[in-house]
Amino acid sequence: MKIIILGGGITGLTAAYKLAVQQHTVVLYEKQAEFGGLAAGFKGSASWEWSLERAYHHIFTGDREILNLANEIDSGGFFFKEPQTVSLYKGPANNYRIIPVDSPQDFLAIPYLSIPEKIRGAAVLAFLKASPFLSLYEKYTAEEFLRTSMGERAWIVLWEQLFRKKFGKYAEKILASFIWARINKRTKGLGYAEGGFQTLIDKLAAKGKEVGAFLKKGRGVAEVKKNGGAFQISTIDEEGRRQTDEADIVISTLPTPALLRVAENVLTKNSLSKFSKIRYLSAVNLIVESKFPLIDRVYWINICNKNLPIMGIVQHTNFIDKKHYGGKCLTYIANYVDDGAPLLRMNKEEAVDFFTPHLKSINGDFIITHAYLFKAPFAQPIFNNEFVENKPTFETGTPNFYIANLDMTYPYDRGTNYAVKLGQDVASLI
């Protein structure tokens, strides 16, 4: 059987590797010049020993699929640490107050809640951590669930700004299943790939080629058609040259909206109707270099102040030693935005000018010495009722046409471990 895979992220590469091991003829097409999708990395200068992801990445201690795959392909593996997470609130004199949120003891020390509110909140968090997935979580929004279970004050202090900054105008519609998955999955220990995730990606691609998969970069999918019993896939290279290939089976790992554009002639009317109802936000990541970190020791900063127009700050080199990046401190200024957001239209210089005063309001001595700006469409699906009713599954209703994309990680947030699992699972269906 000849199988064509659309998209060369971790899901596509994993599927290609597994299917080639099964002796199928496998061809993969990737639009970008490098494999990896949202986990792809770059090197900002020759002084960098390791690559850095365009969007922040780590794994959890229980992410067995990616850990086992790394071992199977001899990629160099992962190492684990316990970096610090804090929430940033408005403090006295209009400055900011940083509150650790890594442990139950940290939670009980939060100054903005009463003792009864803390005990009630801790009990709910313990329940979410221990409980299996329940249908209850899809019957209520996260706001309804948290307001009811933890109380009004806990919602305002702990959660409201996090949901508004992550989901914008959709914040009130996000299902409780999302917060269950975030609490249930989270571990204090976080893992990172030796050399950066691009090292793992490159090794996976090399292993795929070694077992016979044909992996082609720089060729974007333009159209998928049906010709008798075969699929015809048209691809275009960077110079606009078109090429057509045929396959018995197609696996799409493309974002759902991208798939709709190229495969409307082969997807069923039901699939086209369902998938078009899913809504997404784009990711905008400004990565800044500096001589010193914004905040010492802290890796992850939740922004709980409504006046600070940042979803989250991730200080990569407070997790991974800056010696791997020429001694530079690297920090992600992360946001999700909808199509009309001004940030989505800014260039790098404009984004630096926009965020600099806000970063200086946290640390007046912070100076950006260099920056990189990356944008990714369809990075965050809106986990509302419409999503649950219309999300894709492996089988599309079109025989021999499969989907394996990161929408299917629901209720969990997107991540590399789920990308590996999706690739493995779709390969097992063929």
Write out pLDDT tens, residues 321-343.
999 999 999 999 999 999 999 99
Q: What is the token pair recorded at 127?
A: 């329940």
Q: CA 230, CA 249: separation in Å to the nearest integer?
A: 8
Maximum alpha-carbon separation in the chain: 72
Please report which confidence band the pLDDT of residue 113 belongs to, taking 50, 70 and 90 as the band edges: very high
Q: What is the pLDDT of residue 387?
A: 98
Q: Residue length, the chain?
A: 430
Residue 100 · residue 155 · CB < 8 Å: no
Q: What is the pLDDT of residue 92?
A: 73
Q: CA 321, CA 79: separation in Å to the nearest integer?
A: 12
Write out pLDDT tens, residues 359-379.
999 999 999 999 999 999 999
Q: What is the pLDDT of residue 94?
A: 67
What is the Rg, in whole angstroms, of the alpha carbon atoms belonging to the chain? Answer: 22
Q: What is the pLDDT of residue 93?
A: 65
Average pLDDT over residues 388-392: 97
Q: CA 138, CA 178: separation in Å to the nearest integer?
A: 9
The candidate with the shortest Cα–Cα distance to 15, out of 400, 403, 335, 283, is 403
Q: What is the pLDDT of residue 91?
A: 78
Question: 37 pLDDT exceeds 90?
Answer: yes
Amino acid at position 300, single letter: W
Amino acid at position 175, single letter: L
**To which residue do tokens 């999302």 refer?**
178
Select from 1.10.260.40, 3.40.630.30, 3.50.50.60, 3.30.70.120 the CATH code of 2-40+197-278+383-428: 3.50.50.60
Please report which confidence band the pLDDT of residue 413 belongs to, taking 50, 70 and 90 as the band edges: confident
pTM for the whole structure: 0.96
Average pLDDT for the chain: 96
Q: Domains of the chain: which residue ranges? A: 2-40+197-278+383-428, 104-185
